[in-house]
Amino acid sequence: MSNKTGAIFLDRDGVINENSEDHIKSWDEFQFIPHAISTIRELTETGLPIFVVTNQGAVNRGIMTVDDLNDIHTRMLEAITEGGGKITKVYYCPHTSDEKCNCRKPEPGMLLQAAQEYNIDLSKSFMVGDAWTDMAAGREAGTHNILLLTGRGRWNVAPSWDRLGVDLSAACDVADAAFIIQERLSGRPVITTDRLKSAFHMGLRLQDAWVF
């Protein structure tokens, strides 16, 4: 009988914090997406370990240092902990796409490393991201994948479907993704949410579709 547990894997930029074309190079540039901290608290209450898996090629491009990145993550984790959530570990890939590593998404290396280190059953796990590369890494690792429309998500729906087919869920934001995760853990395999359907149907901005 397996003692392995599922897990929740979160991309960082565009999922936990607002994305930036110029990269997030310091804590001053880091801004949590609305409801991200409270949602991570809700996800913590599922009992599944939560990991952040993030491409940070700006390190090897010389745009920021590892110390800069570690400072951002230390402060991010402090804020999440203060909000009642828990991130088990942050995994990051410092490489550029030219380096052809096995950890930069769409490669699944960070997920596989977490699975090995923490005895994770990836088939019982979730990958939440805003880019086709997140979805590809999750599919290769064997997780259930949820594409968000925050960050780069709105521009990654078509690329995700084109590269991976429709074998993924879609959600407005990480709070919406939490609903999908909670439903699937309860045995109800939903693939999208009423908020997302409403946003598309009414042509509203994502924040206008928020249901309190």
pLDDT score for 6: 98
Per the structure block, which two tokens stand in for 51? 């990991």
pLDDT score for 200: 62
pLDDT score for 193: 80
pLDDT score for 162: 55
Those residues of the chain that have pLDDT short of 70 are 1-2, 152-167, 199-212
Question: Do residues 129 and 148 lie in contact, with contact meaning Cβ atoms separated by under 8 Å?
Answer: yes
pLDDT tens sequence across 131-162: 889 999 999 999 999 989 877 656 556 555 55
130 as an active site residue: the answer is no
What is the reported pTM? Answer: 0.89
13 as an active site residue: the answer is yes
How far is the C-alpha of 140 from the C-alpha of 142, rounded, in Å? 6
Task: Check residue 95 and give left, alpha or beta (phi > 0: left; psi -120 to 50: alpha).
Answer: beta
Q: Which domains does the chain have, with CATH numbers?
A: 8-209 (3.40.50.1000)
Which of 11, 130, 134, 173 is an active site residue? 11
* Strands laid side by side in the 8-10 sheet: 89-93, 50-55, 8-10, 126-129, 144-148, 169-171
pLDDT score for 206: 46
